[in-house]
């Protein structure tokens, strides 16, 4: 397992590689971010942005999403995976916002996770990005990178990963760390063909060392 000092070194290196790491879901307000994050489950941010480019022009408020038949909303997000379920959740979420939160996105995790389609990961993204409240969302990239590096155990649950990363990372860096890990995982330490042979963290990474030893890394002679 990585020590706190080794983990800080990892974050410093990621910061050098991706100094501008940020939320890649395009949005103008907390409501749009919540909808975009809900849509991003098992889907790429790039595809979500393609859909929301027109979606957010048509739907500006919770009332707008409720003013159309479910089938019309489903059709508007049809290119996104699980679109039927996501459309239902969006309308249910909008209804709940209007009846319980005056049409506004709530600013606590406990309230956010009561919204249809909003789990802990989405809630943490909204808290961190929309409201600048320290939180650390664990998605597939965060989980993969922290386990490969050995900060977390392979058997750790998503919640255990979140708790470990928060424990080893200063609170004021949680939001930034989330984005750095996503960029590092999305563009460098990919699920398929990670760039171990040119990775500045190779000396600390058991997974990378194993891969190089077994000749599993493309581009390495």
Residue 50 sits in a domain of what CATH number?
Answer: 1.10.340.30
Query: With 80 as the cut, is the pLDDT of residue 58 above it?
Result: yes
Is there a single domain that holds both residue 67 and residue 99?
Answer: yes
Model pLDDT, residue 206: 87
Average pLDDT score over the chain: 95
Band (pLDDT 50/70/90 cuts) for residue 220 is very low
Domain of residue 71: give its range.
30-131
Is 189 flagged in the annotation as binding?
Answer: yes
pTM above 0.85, yes or no: yes
In a domain, residue 10? The reply is: yes
Domain C-terminal end among 131, 148, 179 = 131
In a domain, residue 48? The reply is: yes
Is 205 flagged in the annotation as binding?
Answer: yes
How many domains does the structure of the chain reveal? Answer: 2
Domain C-terminal end among 81, 115, 131 = 131
Measured distance CA(95)–CA(9) in Å, rounded: 46
Query: With 90 as the cut, is the pLDDT of residue 49 above it?
Result: yes
Is 199 flagged in the annotation as binding?
Answer: yes
Q: Which of 76, 86, 139, 176 is catalytic?
A: 139
Sign of the alpha-carbon dihedral angle for 82, 85, 88, 92: negative
In a domain, residue 219? The reply is: no
Is there a single domain that holds both residue 170 and residue 124?
Answer: no
Model pLDDT, residue 214: 85
Is there a single domain that holds both residue 58 and residue 117?
Answer: yes
Residues 84-103, mean pLDDT to the nearest whole number:
98
Query: With 60 as the cut, is the pLDDT of residue 221 above it?
Result: no
Is there a single domain that holds both residue 168 and residue 120?
Answer: no
pLDDT tens digits, one per residue of 175-188: 999 999 999 999 99
Is 43 flagged in the annotation as binding?
Answer: no
Is there a single domain that holds both residue 97 and residue 166?
Answer: no
Query: With 90 as the cut, is the pLDDT of residue 216 above it?
Result: no
Alpha helices by DSSP H, listed for the chain, are 4-17, 30-39, 45-58, 62-66, 70-76, 83-100, 109-112, 120-125, 131, 140-149, 158-168, 174-187, 206-213
Is there a single domain that holds both residue 157 and residue 113?
Answer: no
pLDDT tens digits, one per residue of 3-37: 999 999 999 999 999 999 999 999 999 999 999 99
Residues 120-133, mean pLDDT to the nearest whole number:
97
Reply yes or no on whether 121 is catalytic. Answer: yes
Is there a single domain that holds both residue 126 and residue 141?
Answer: no
Query: With 90 as the cut, is the pLDDT of residue 215 above it?
Result: no
Query: With 90 as the cut, is the pLDDT of residue 218 above it?
Result: no
Domain C-terminal end among 109, 131, 153 = 131
Is there a single domain that holds both residue 203 and residue 153?
Answer: yes
CATH number of the domain within which 185 lies? 1.10.1670.10
Is there a single domain that holds both residue 175 and residue 193?
Answer: yes
In a domain, residue 221? The reply is: no
Query: With 80 as the cut, is the pLDDT of residue 219 above it?
Result: no
Band (pLDDT 50/70/90 cuts) for residue 217 is low
List the Cα angle 112/116/122 in 5-degree steps.
Answer: 50
Is there a single domain that holds both residue 122 and residue 180?
Answer: no
Is there a single domain that holds both residue 126 and residue 146?
Answer: no
Model pLDDT, residue 129: 97
pLDDT tens digits, one per residue of 146-205: 999 999 999 999 999 999 999 999 999 999 999 999 999 999 999 999 999 999 999 999
Is there a single domain that holds both residue 154 and residue 63?
Answer: no
Q: Which of 12, 20, 50, 121 is catalytic?
A: 121
In a domain, residue 115? The reply is: yes
Q: Beta-carbon neighbour count of residue 102 at 10 Å?
A: 8
């Amino acid at each position: 397992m990585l020590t706190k000092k080794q983990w800080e070194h990892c974050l410093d290196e990621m910061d050098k590689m991706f100094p501008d790491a940020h939320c890649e879901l395009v949005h103008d307000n907390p409501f749009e971010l919540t909808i975009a994050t809900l849509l991003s489950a098992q889907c790429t941010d790039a595809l979500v942005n393609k859909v929301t480019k027109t979606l957010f022009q048509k739907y500006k408020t919770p009332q707008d999403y409720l003013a159309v038949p479910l089938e019309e909303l489903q059709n508007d997000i049809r290119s996104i995976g699980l679109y039927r379920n996501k459309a239902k959740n969006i309308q249910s979420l909008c209804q709940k916002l209007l009846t319980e939160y005056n049409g506004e996105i709530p600013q606590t995790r406990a309230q956010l996770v009561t919204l249809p389609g909003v789990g802990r990961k989405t809630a943490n993204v909204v808290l961190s990005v929309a409201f600048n409240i320290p939180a650390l969302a664990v998605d597939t990239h965060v989980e993969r990178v922290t386990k490969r590096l050995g900060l977390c155990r392979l058997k750790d649950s998503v919640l255990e990963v979140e708790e470990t990363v928060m424990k080893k990372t200063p609170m004021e860096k949680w939001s930034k760390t989330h984005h750095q890990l996503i960029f590092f995982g999305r563009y460098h330490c990919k699920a398929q063909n990670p760039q171990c042979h040119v990775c500045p963290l190779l000396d600390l990474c058991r997974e990378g060392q194993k891969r190089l030893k077994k000749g599993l890394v493309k581009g390495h002679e």
